[in-house]
Structure 1
Amino acid sequence: MDALTIAMPKGRIFEEAYELLVKAGYDLPKELDDSRKLIVEAPNENIRFILAKPMDVPAYVEHGVVDIGIAGKDVMLEHDRDVYELLDLGISRCYIATAGMPDTPMNKVSPRVATKYPKVASQYYRGKGEQVEIIELNGSIELAPMIGLADRIVDIVSTGKTLKENGLIEYEKIVDITSRLIVNPVSYRLKQERITELVGRLRKQVIL
């Protein structure tokens, strides 16, 4: 029987998903928790884990190099991928919000918004009937309003600590985010029994 391949992002999502899988009764190697390897086998379960960047997981699933992926809803909203979303795992809770310097209105002439979620940000402001210039950044988004690059940022907020430490405040909450179990459509047909079993076992552990 072919191994079931699962792409998981490193970091918080990985840690919480690993714990969920163990609670669901899967016999996973302990070294998976702190391994520096990019591919880790769980031979007792005939599962292979691919450790990837969060933004890359849906691409791996879409192109069929893995059967299943665990990805944040933020990534799913930003990138249209041909995958099935099977289960809200209820882990790695956070949300996307707008933020900026305190008591600073948006520039009425040429409002600028910095973000690593250009699609989410564009749709949000378009929905409000506001035309903004999107500046796509990949790191230190909080810096943009501090140095005058943008009026607002659109970013993930978990505790709000990073915003506070940089003198920013949250303005509007856009959408709640949790991690989702996604599957390649072809894999779902070919390995439906194993995937359905996995979903069923995980669903019993999910707290929404």
Structure 2
Amino acid sequence: MLVGPAEDAKYEARIYVGEGEDPRMRLDAHHGNKDFWNRFVVFTSFGQALNKATIRYLEARLLQLVAAAERAELDNGNAPGLPPLSEPEVADAESFLADMLVIYPILGVNVFEPLAQAASPTRLHLEGPSASGEGAETDDGFVVFTGTLARAETVASMPGWAANLRESLEESGVLIPVEGGASLRHRPGPRHEGPSCDHRSASARVGRPRG
């Protein structure tokens, strides 16, 4: 899977799902003909644990899940159908898929399930110099809502983890400069930032330590 920033602001990412016998060769080819991606995830199996048909089944299932979740743009031109497999082969493939779906979110790829609604009506409000916004805890973790503003300048005491998150938000186009220069605007669409990220999200947007 190739992962990069989305062209349409309503999506969290742009991805390409593929399969092949030589991952390095495929990545070299994609380096020359796809310029959107800045990271990738590769799953492999030992020996003949997965045959070609099973691998194509996994590819098709991942594409189905991404399309249904509507959280990412797909760079794939066509979505292949599910290849015919025996019942035991389907069971093995779905077991492998379940393991993949556990690992992807750990790697920051959260595009396979629809964005959960807020677990409670409680919204957290952020106010600071040139910064304001709202967020809420959901079943997926903490979500930052459209309309949030981040302070353009940061202070030296800003924690490293907040600075890293801030850099990631700017590089991926989530935070966009606002005319006048004092603030950065959150692009349209809710932004999922993982479990228990309320204080980290706040620090990244006010540009300073925040408890």
Same fold judged by TM-score > 0.5? no
TM-score (norm 1): 0.25
TM-score (norm 2): 0.25
Which of the two has greater strand per residue?
1
